[in-house]
Structure 1
Amino acid sequence: MHVTFKQLEAFYFSVTCASFSAAATKLHATQSAMSKRIGELEQELGVQLVHRMPKGLVPTHAGNRLLGLAEEAMRLRERIAAEVGQADEIKGTYRIGVTELIALTWLTELLRELKLRHPAIQLEPVVDAGMNLFEDLEANKIDMAILPGTFWGEAYKSVEVGRVEDLWMASPRLSLPDRPLKPEEFAEYPVLEQSAGSAKNAYYGAWRREHGFRFKKAFSTNSLMVLRALTIEGLGISQLALDYFAADIEKGLLRVVESDPMPPPLVYSAVFRHDEFSRALEAIAQASQDVCDFRRGPHDVAAGNV
């Protein structure tokens, strides 16, 4: 009998993703290659492993028995590579989703650092709103999402990479009391927010409800830069990352609006599936921890741009 790791890998991800196409996307292969490898595996074992159903691929009784063994085989392969092979040789192409704030601050540094540590790793960044990124992660369109939040379900591993103070801010021209605002007072002023796809809104949702924050929203946008412009123009109060917008505060374009209570720090995490068998994702999460920095770059400050 000649069963290969590639056949077991194709079988495992085709079943857990419920489709050849999703498995192919995850493994950077073709749909026909996934189908061919499983066909070869079925021929080697002499049993049918999957049913092709309208709702997707479903394992047969034999397939269910093989699923746990395939997972063990992939974990063993990673252990062999780590303990016997070239442990520092991590390679492959990975699609990593990041939010706009990360793209504007430390994404370039992450790419540079990974190139130094692991030259054989290739990253394909995807920039989008946090909830959209998580949907892509669920659909196996990306391998990792770095976004606000600490827990995304039992199927996912979340590694904290950094925190940022996300405070209420407004233009000094906006007429606000010179004291901390109570949660109920926010309903008296226009509040500008990022759109519903923002993971930050989900992160702060429970905290806002617990403390009775209610907003009379004037505008929502999926662009952080549009949100900045509207806030500087004096059109409302926004919740913004202190590190990134410190330059605007120093220039007098924005000011921190205190509240009682103040928002807790915003936690960013690298999120990926527990069933991933690649050391590369752990390496990417570690590098993200090391370079995470939400301050605006010197070139942005000098140019007065964001």
Structure 2
Amino acid sequence: MVTLKQLEAFFWAIELGSLEEAASRLHTTQSAISKRVQELESALGIPLFDRSKRRVHATAYGQEILPLIAEMLNLRTRLIDIATAKEHPPRTLRLGVTDLTALTWLPQLIQRVRSSHPHVTLEPIVDTSTLLVERLRSAQLDLVVVPDAFREPQFDTVPLDSVEYAWMCSPSYLPEQTSMKLQELQNFTIISQLHGSGLGQIMKRWLSENQVSTEGGLSSSNLTAIASLTLSGMGISYLPRKIFDDVVQSGQLQIIKTTPAIPRIPYALMYRKGAADELLRFVTSVVTDTCDFARMLPGYFTTSVPRSSTR
């Protein structure tokens, strides 16, 4: 018998490219994922994994049924959302997010909340994480999604995903250079997040621990502005790697590998203790399920930008 657990194990193993990442996504063990896929192969009577390769790859039959599995899992999600929903009076839930969330999975979150709670208005506020947390303290926001740099006793904190950042620059800024020691970055213009942001605080602390100064560099609180400056050849910046993959592949940006590399940046959902009612708990569960910082809005950063060799 084919089960949804078997289907989602196969789907996420292929989608994420490894059993380990699929296990992390589904909050189980790698051996459990492997067992579910084997059970699915046995139930269907055909191999789904191409085990001749090092990374997880689907066979031709596996690729053929993958869209059907995705559709079944999406229907399961919609069914759960509808079943979980109850009648609520009209209400506005104020959600604070940084631009990284706004550019990746925020539309999917709003769509899911609307479909299950049509009388609820989810009002997204996009700002720097420091200002969002200040507004959460003063009850101007109901919950926020920010880098995990604001642990405070008055907040309940729900860990979400972590984001891989990489140093990037225009190929015209550093021709034919793809690696260097971290401290060598001081010889160039570093484009960074303002220190008032959660990401800026985490990066400033990490760079300081590694004796790297960003003095004389450029800074902004806006991801689009930082990307634009980087694409224009104004310096080196740290950008979320997954959502800039297409820009790197197109040759507009190149990755500069450093020793040590940037640590993954954890993100979290926060709300005030004692403020969590049934609706907020439901939205929290949808946030944890929807959160995907690799889900870039199509074509957002793929437009060619004039380059310069200014340092």
Common fold, TM-score beyond 0.5? yes
Contact persistence 2:158–2:270 (CA under 8 A): yes
**In 1, Cα distance between equivalents of 2:210 and 2:301:** 35
- Of all paired residues, the percent bearing the same amino acid is 28
Match of 1:126, SS?
strand
Decide whether aligned partners of structure 1 residues 245 and 302 sit closer, same or farther in structure 2, where only a CA change above 3 A counts. closer
Question: What amino acid does structure 1 have at the position aligned with 2:209?
Answer: E
Residues 188 and 303 of structure 1, relative CA distance in 2, 3 Å threshold: closer
**2:268 paired residue number:** 269
TM-score of the two chains, using structure 1 as the length reference: 0.66
Given the two structures, how large is their TM-score scaled by the length of structure 2? 0.65
Aligned to 1:36: none
Residues 169-223 of structure 1: CA deviation (Å, up to 9, x unaligned): 1111122674642232121110011223321012233322222222244321222
1:158 aligned residue: 157
Distance across 2 between alignment mates of 1:292 and 1:140: 24
Q: Which amino acid aligns with 1:206?
A: R
Separation in 2, partners of 1:246, 1:192: 19
**In the alignment, structure 1 residue 253 sits paired with structure 2 residue 255:** no
In 2, distance between residues paired with 1:299 and 1:164? 20
Cα pair distance change 1:211/1:302, threshold 3 Å: closer
Q: Which amino acid aligns with 1:157?
A: D
Task: Tell me the equivalent position of 2:297.
Answer: 297
Please say which structure displays the higher CA radius of gyration.
1
* SS, match of residue 153 in structure 2: coil
- Summarize the Cα distance change of 1:109–1:255 in structure 2 as closer, same or farther, 3 Å threshold: same
Question: What amino acid maps onto 1:298 in structure 2?
Answer: P
Which residue of structure 1 aligns with residue 113 of structure 2?
114
Structure 1 residues 19-98: aligned runs within 5 Å: 88-89=85-86, 91=88, 92-98=91-97
Aligned position for 1:170: 169
Question: Is 1:138 aligned to 2:137, yes or no?
Answer: yes
Question: For residues 86-135 of structure 1, what are the alpha-carbon distances to aligned partners after superposition, in whole Å with 9 as ceiling and x for unaligned?
Answer: 97427432111010111122111110011223333321111101111011
Computed over aligned residues only, the root mean square deviation of the Cα atoms, in angstroms, reads: 2.4
Whole-angstrom CA distance in 2 between matches of 1:211 and 1:218: 17
Q: Aligned partners of 1:169 and 1:90: how far apart in 2?
A: 48
CA distance in 2, matches of 1:151, 1:166: 20
Consecutive unaligned residues of structure 1, counting only runs of 5 or more, are 1-85
Tell me which amino acid in the other structure corresponds to 2:102: A
Equivalent residue, structure 2, for 1:101: 100
1:89 partner amino acid: K
User: Partner of 1:183 in structure 2?
Assistant: 182
Distance 1:218 1:303 in 2: 25
Give the whole-Å Cα distance in 1 for the aligned partners of 2:236 and 2:302: 26
Tell me, in whole angstroms, the C-alpha distance in 1 between the residues paired with 2:281 and 2:216: 39
Distance 2:207 2:175 in 1: 20
